[in-house]
Structure 1
């Protein structure tokens, strides 16, 4: 009777469904990881053959070999450059914009705030064609300018930073003004240090989004040397025909940087968003 009551407890079923959901999420990642350590050309779609063949690093060696058929190192460098530069400039611009809209009085501030938020409701796909035409007219195709600048401003980053700056006490900023501090000095000496946690959380979001971006780099980077990892990795499927081990190895390598960034800075995500004031 005790065991029946235990299984009738809703909390028990919540744990059961939670673990089942976790297994469903982890299973594809485990399949990718195991397949990456199989020989090139081996069958990885049948469970018995997946575990029946020896593990090897040949697929990773084939991916990283600079033999002209793949440019994994170049694609990784492109993704790092685009991700780091885009993250740094986007966070800086978002912080400036959030500080201006939150603390600097000027006409039309409400309209500008609404206009920025409206950008969150516009699908990226709806502006791809005119944006691509603009980049082409400027002669930026197959360049870092085309990969970086169009994705520079993120409304979500602006919103998160503005919400934090709104909660800073006015007395703190007024004291700085009385000491003769200008707008830029207030931002550099007060806003920037206090919002470092929120900026770190925003930086993680921007970097991971930039790292995984496929649509825009696929349009503006037709040259193989300018491809990023999400664009270059699918070429392994066409290069190596039906081989799945090599594409899986490339996916494992491409996932490592974003995974490390998230693991090392994951505490800043919760801290940056949940902070509602200062101590």
Structure 2
């Protein structure tokens, strides 16, 4: 009985701790939502806080987004959706192929290629931006979707993750498929890829979040206002000559929606993909 009571106390303490941590993590989001429902004059007067002034809440900021003032915002939103969606699909396709090949096949230079992937993974992207920018300029791709996506299609972290996950795949299925006359591509797409669904889901969330929040690289290669992604577009609303808080805060709240949808869609595979990919191999 004493042990059971002690366990209950520990459980209550852990739950209380987790609730506190969750509140601390969610406080910036709560403050953002409160700011999006407050007039710009209140933001200038009180600043960004989590205090609730229900009497002053209104939806004028969101009305501004859906009005004429928000025309550029929706173009930025569309650009981010297109870039993120295409980048997720291409990154999962190519990175899974590379990671799978490094895990299940034996070929000359395999260890060297894997070490190269790890070395690139250790290099900060900021160091690679200048040569990548010169490459995009040489290809005349600046100020286009391709300039944003091309350097990020095969992500080292995704290759490493898929390689670690594929190491644990049953090789017996591959041998049985070869005996039945299945090609190597057929083995991957028809047999192994369905087994790798948790890893695809985990990487879809991580790559989608990275692409959606990417700021520095798109800022370097995009020039025109119509090509800006959402983070860059929202940043342009803050200038020394005036700040459009109405669009900024309401637009920031709406920018969270795609990531929430992406996570809810893949959440049942997310934890399984992260744990399996992290311990196998």
For 2:254 and 2:201, locate their aligned partners in 1 and report how far apart those are by CA, in whole Å: 24
Matching residue of 1:3: none
Indicate if the aligned counterparts of 1:87 and 1:203 stay in contact, CA closer than 8 A.
yes
For 2:32 and 2:127, locate their aligned partners in 1 and report how far apart those are by CA, in whole Å: 33
The alpha-carbon deviation at position 266 of structure 1 amounts to 1.8
Unaligned runs of 5+ in 1: 1-5
Alpha-carbon RMSD: 2.6
Matching residue of 2:27: 27
Unaligned runs of 5+ in 2: 1-5
What SS does structure 1 have at the residue aligned with 2:186?
helix
Deviates more, 1:90-99 or 1:230-239: 230-239
Indicate if the aligned counterparts of 2:91 and 2:154 stay in contact, CA closer than 8 A.
yes
Matching residue of 2:57: 55
- 1:169-209 Cα offsets, whole Å, 9 max, x none, are 22111111111222111111111111122112111111111
Matching residue of 1:222: 223
Indicate if the aligned counterparts of 1:40 and 1:245 stay in contact, CA closer than 8 A.
yes
Deviates more, 1:56-65 or 1:186-195: 56-65
The alpha-carbon deviation at position 49 of structure 1 amounts to 8.2
- Provide closer, same or farther for how the CA distance between residues 243 and 88 of structure 1 changes in structure 2, counting only shifts above 3 A: closer
Deviates more, 1:142-151 or 1:99-108: 99-108
Matching residue of 2:199: 198
What are the residue-to-residue correspondences of 1:87-236 with 2, within 5 Å?
Answer: 87-236=88-237
TM-score, normalised by the number of residues in structure 2: 0.87
The alpha-carbon deviation at position 220 of structure 1 amounts to 0.7
Indicate if the aligned counterparts of 1:41 and 1:244 stay in contact, CA closer than 8 A.
no
For 1:180 and 1:271, locate their aligned partners in 2 and report how far apart those are by CA, in whole Å: 32
What SS does structure 2 have at the residue aligned with 1:167?
coil
TM-score, normalised by the number of residues in structure 1: 0.87
Deviates more, 1:10-19 or 1:107-116: 10-19
For 1:107 and 1:201, locate their aligned partners in 2 and report how far apart those are by CA, in whole Å: 30
For 2:142 and 2:35, locate their aligned partners in 1 and report how far apart those are by CA, in whole Å: 36
